[in-house]
A and B are shown apart, each in its own frame.
Chain A
Amino acid sequence: MLARQQVDPAAPLWRAAQVFRLLSWTYALYFQVSKNAELDRPVLGWVLFGVLTGWSLACGFAYLRGFGRRRSWVLTEAVMVVGLMATTVIVASEHWTLANQSWPTTLWATNAVVSAAILAGPVAGMGMGLAVMGTAAALKGAIAVDLVRSPTILIELSVGLAIGMAANTARRAHAEVEKAARIAAALAERERLSRHVHDGVMQVLAMVARRGREIGGETAQLAEAAGEQERALRRLLSAVDIEPEAAAAADGDLGLLLRRHASDRVSVSVPAAAVYLDPRVAAEVEAATVNALTNVERHAGPGARAYVLLEDLGNEVVVSIRDDGPGIPAGRLEAAIGEGRVGVSKSIQGRLAALGGRAELTAPAGGGTEWEFTVPR
């Protein structure tokens, strides 16, 4: 569809079908040679067989080259098959017709079924099989087909079904492979961009931030802006480097989920390896962590920093969130909860309890407050 030539996933089927076309034509020729003398109008019989041969060549060419692989051509093929079958009425007696296969098409008629199946799947293939056999039956004046003596109708239906399904499978597989290739290409491109940005833009931004801070004054503000952009870019790239965010959420890698909340004010320490939890559990723990971080922002003062630590202990996972704010004086913790100072503590504890874990809030003597979430695996 784009500039690049589209690959037809059914192309091998089309090629195989033309081999069948040649074989079935050979069979039709054999039938024609042995039976022509019995026809009422043998000369016309050869002329019509010539038409069949010409059409075979045209189809073979059209399907192999590809321009015939469309609805109008396949429908024309069906009309030709049915039309040729119908000429039996002109060239042979009714008695002969009843005693013989459909002339001059015989097995060759199946080509229309094959083409329809490859082009449009099993339903179209079986439909074409019914149409072809219906024509044959109508010519013999006998709709009731003797399945015991002539299972042709079943064979036609099976051919339509099997080849149609093969064509659909080929198309689906091709689509999947293409999709995978597109995703791989997109990832490779992102990685390339990430390297490029890391080696260029980020280094310069970081340097501007560093030098600007040293110079001070108004330049320090520029430095702050450059530093902010550098950190934002780094976070963006590190998230991209591993895997797309959506995939992380689906996998439940709590480490990746938590790292997204790192900022100038929030340090996030996680193991190098992924920390997998049930995705819903991971999302809940992340939400509780965000609650705690929001609490730090509201209550620990403007200069406070927060430190998140994720530990994987095998049978349980521990998340600690510490802030370096003024903390809570000894013995005042219960009162503080009552005052709403740690207003979200109920919601945090509720979340963890629902996961079968626990959340504890402590206020060490040295200042700051610390949450510790423990989640069983």
Chain B
Amino acid sequence: MSDDVTTVMVVDDHPIWRDAVARDLAEAGFEVVATADGVGSARRRAAAVQPGVVVMDMRLSDGTGAQACLEVLAVSPSSRILVLSASDERADVLDAVKAGATGYLVKSASKAELGEAVRATAAGRAVFTPGLAGLVLGEYRRIAQQPDGLRDGAAVPSLTERETEILRHVAKGLTAKQIAERLSLSHRTVENHVQATFRKLQVANRVEATRYAIEHGLDQ
């Protein structure tokens, strides 16, 4: 991935945005290999072009961004997904993270911020905002408060103390660099911790979905 130009697919149902984001990314040196306006077209094109990064809006013509994340990763597992949305960091963004997105950026971000975020996503780093950290933190706490009966089985994601500490700092607006200084860690370690919190939710979500499918005979 590092020795080649990063390939990008832009999924947005609004033509103004789809075109502008594609143009900006092309200008920033990425190769935009496909665009799509919905879940169905995103899946078909991702299967064909196997993009390195998918820049994903949350509201699509035929479904949600979270749905599209699942379907794209099913046909193109090596793709990494960056959510770019005007949505106000609510449940749908959390769903996208659980569905496998590793980054989230608001649409008000500048061209330079977008390019940097795509670069980070391509390199396997998490892109996050304070709002997203608050949602992820809330999700782990919700899971922890569920009665034991509801969480039989091993796939109950939980945070380490360090992860909790870091997510709280992110949610309070500290940058990875500031957190690294406060905790005497490296910048990369802080990012890795945040990323781990995303990944655990995603794995738990997938296990949950599989178990649901098996229990309901949907796994054929």
Contacts and interface: CB of A to CB of B under 8 A. Distances in A.
B171 A314 contact: no
Interface string B166-191: 00100111100010011000000000
Interface string B135-172: 10111011011000000000000000000000010011
Interface stretch (A79-87, A111-119, A263-271, A343-351): A263-271
Interface stretch (B38-46, B65-73, B107-115): B107-115
Contacts of A213: 110
Interface in B80-136: 86, 88-91, 94, 107-108, 110-111, 129-131, 133-135
A307 B130 contact: yes
Contact of A235 (B88, B134, B142): B88
Given A269-B171, A272-B138, A311-B141, A198 B181 contact: no
4 cross-chain pairs, A with B, having the tightest CB-CB distances, nearest first: A271-B138, A269-B134, A307-B173, A272-B91
A272 B135 contact: yes
B211 interface: no
Interface stretch (A19-27, A53-61, A68-76, A200-208): A200-208
User: Which of A204, A227, A272, A305 has the largest number of chain B CB atoms within 10 A?
Assistant: A272
Given A203-B14, A238-B90, A211 B171 contact: no
Given A202-B86, A230-B86, 14 more contacts: A198-B86, A204-B16, A206-B86, A210-B108, A267-B130, A269-B172, A272-B94, A309-B134, A309-B137, A309-B171, A309-B172, A311-B137, A322-B174, A370-B172
B207 interface: no
Contacts of B145: 312, 314
A282 B35 CA distance: 45
B49 interface: no
User: Which of B108, B134, B144 has the largest number of chain A CB atoms within 10 A?
Assistant: B134
A1 interface: no
Given A267-B173, A322-B173, A366-B181, A310 B107 contact: no
Interface in A287-333: 305, 307, 309-314, 320, 322, 324
Contacts of B90: 238, 272
B135 A366 contact: no
A341 interface: no
A176 to B, nearest CB: 31
A26 B16 CA distance: 78
B87 to A, nearest CB: 8
Interface string A187-210: 000000000001100111011011
B66 to A, nearest CB: 12
B141 A271 contact: yes
Contacts of A3: none
Contacts of B107: 206, 210
28 contacts: A203-B16, A234-B86, A238-B90, A259-B88, A269-B89, A269-B134, A269-B135, A269-B172, A270-B135, A270-B138, A271-B134, A272-B91, A272-B139, A272-B142, A273-B138, A307-B130, A307-B172, A307-B173, A309-B137, A309-B171, A309-B172, A310-B134, A311-B141, A311-B168, A312-B138, A320-B168, A322-B173, A366-B182
A37 B66 CA distance: 89
Interface in B15-53: 16-17, 20
B108 A269 contact: no
B59 interface: yes
Interface in A271-288: 271-273
Interface of A: 198-199, 202-204, 206-207, 209-211, 213-214, 227, 230-231, 234-235, 238, 259, 262, 267-273, 305, 307, 309-314, 320, 322, 324, 364, 366, 370
A253 to B, nearest CB: 13
B39 to A, nearest CB: 16
Contact of A366 (B134, B141, B178): B178
Nearest to A259: B88
Contact of B133 (A202, A269, A305, A312): A269
Contacts of B138: 270-273, 311-312
B130 A273 contact: no
Given A203-B14, A238-B88, A271-B142, A209 B135 contact: no
A273 B3 CA distance: 43
B43 to A, nearest CB: 21
B141 A313 contact: yes
Nearest to A312: B141
A89 B144 CA distance: 88
A262 B142 CA distance: 23
A208 B171 CA distance: 29
B123 to A, nearest CB: 24
Contacts of B173: 267, 305, 307, 322, 324
B55 to A, nearest CB: 14
A187 to B, nearest CB: 18
Nearest to A365: B182
B141 A234 contact: no
B182 A364 contact: yes
B59 A199 contact: yes
A271 B91 CA distance: 8
B172 A322 contact: yes
Contacts of B141: 271, 311-314
Contacts of B178: 366
Contacts of B171: 269, 307, 309
A309 B168 contact: yes
